[in-house]
Amino acid sequence: MTQLIDGKAVSSKLLEALKHDIATLKSAPGLAVILVGDNPASKSYIGMKKKACANLGVQSFEFLLPEASTESELIDVIDTLNARKEVHGILLQMPLPKHFDEQAMLHRIAPEKDVDGFHPVNVGNLLIGRDTFKSCTPFGVMALLQHYNIQTEGKHVVIVGRSNIVGKPMAAMLMQNEVGANATVTVCHSRTKDLASITRQADILIAAIGKPLFITKDMVGDGAVVIDVGINRVDDSSDARGYKLVGDVDYTAVAQTASAITPVPGGVGPLTIAMLMTNTVTAYKRQTEAG
């Protein structure tokens, strides 16, 4: 019988433990979130982050800039937050409007406050195996694998997607010489030839390509563990919203083949916010100890 990997349940346990940890601190950790423009999905995500902060006892600072803002205006906000002692983590919500250089803006965030794990210093530390802030979504995948005791050592993990947010850091985490990693990793992408022949070899298949229902049953080997990172809106006239959320995996069909699988929604998604909160508390502790 296929095992359901319940991200909501795992996230709840992690957040509850984190809440007790925060209660023992001398002051509240502070997380600042910056949103440029009014992207509905970004607004929704920020709302969930704000709620998580309130539930845990984390200070939440919100900075909303108009879409027509300049890079100079955004840099001023980031520099101010870098200097504020009560702000321990800074999150710049992606995507930015097209006239922004996203990488330059992310690089402006102080590495010690980069709780999203996107700064080159933290990315580099991750690659060479040093303790650092990890990108929240792949960090959440690692937490799920650990919670369900899904062994990665010596296993062939195939990642479909090579983004800086998921694919690349996911590969770096899984290949480390440490407990919970030690996997043999293959990263596939839009230029990969005969993709299905590679994905069928996976002991663990991680889909992070951003295409609804892209991974079909014939692309998954019998007994594979399937982790669906994707979350896509597709039209659905039967839903009051006019759409439904689906992953990158054809869940109904693939669940017949997989030994374990994450649903969408309710799989990887809840872990992303849990790991953001984890990184924020870690940032607080490091900065408090350092200063």
Which of 93, 113, 203, 250 is catalytic? The answer is 93
Q: Where in 37-177 does DSSP place strands (E)?
A: 59-65, 89-92, 156-160
Percentage of the chain beyond pLDDT 90 is: 92
Q: How confident is the model at residue 39 (pLDDT cuts 50, 70, 90)?
A: confident
Q: State yes or no: is 49 an active-site residue.
A: yes
Q: What is the per-residue pLDDT across 233-258, written as a single tens digit (0 to 9) for each? A: 898 888 888 889 999 999 999 999 99
Q: How confident is the model at residue 41 (pLDDT cuts 50, 70, 90)?
A: confident
- Averaged pLDDT, 180-207: 98
Contact (CB, 8 A) for 214 and 199: no
Q: How confident is the model at residue 94 (pLDDT cuts 50, 70, 90)?
A: very high
Residue 31 has pLDDT above 80, yes or no: yes
Percentage of the chain beyond pLDDT 70 is: 100
Task: Please give the mean pLDDT across all residues of the chain.
Answer: 96
In terms of pLDDT, which residue wins out, 279 or 44? 279
Which of 113, 114, 116, 228 is catalytic? The answer is 116
Q: How confident is the model at residue 44 (pLDDT cuts 50, 70, 90)?
A: confident
Residue 35 has pLDDT above 80, yes or no: yes
- Averaged pLDDT, 266-285: 97
Contact (CB, 8 A) for 246 and 212: yes
Q: State yes or no: is 116 an active-site residue.
A: yes
In SS3 terms, 219-255 reads as HCCCCCEEEECCCEEEECCCCCCCEEEECCECHHHHC
Q: How confident is the model at residue 291 (pLDDT cuts 50, 70, 90)?
A: low
Residue 191 has pLDDT above 70, yes or no: yes
- Averaged pLDDT, 28-40: 95
Architecture of the CATH domain 136-270? 3-Layer(aba) Sandwich (3.40)
Gap between the Cα atoms of 138 and 140, Å rounded: 5
Gap between the Cα atoms of 250 and 215, Å rounded: 6
Residue 128 has pLDDT above 80, yes or no: yes
136-147 vs 167-175: helix axis angle to the nearest 10? Answer: 40
- Report pLDDT for 82: 98
Which of 49, 113, 134, 168 is catalytic? The answer is 49
- Averaged pLDDT, 181-203: 97
Q: State yes or no: is 13 an active-site residue.
A: no
Question: In terms of C-beta density within 10 A (0-12 exposed, 13-18 middle, 19 or more buried), how is residue 211 classed?
Answer: middle
Residue spans per domain, the chain: 27-112, 136-270
CATH 3.40.50.10860 is held by the domain 27-112: yes
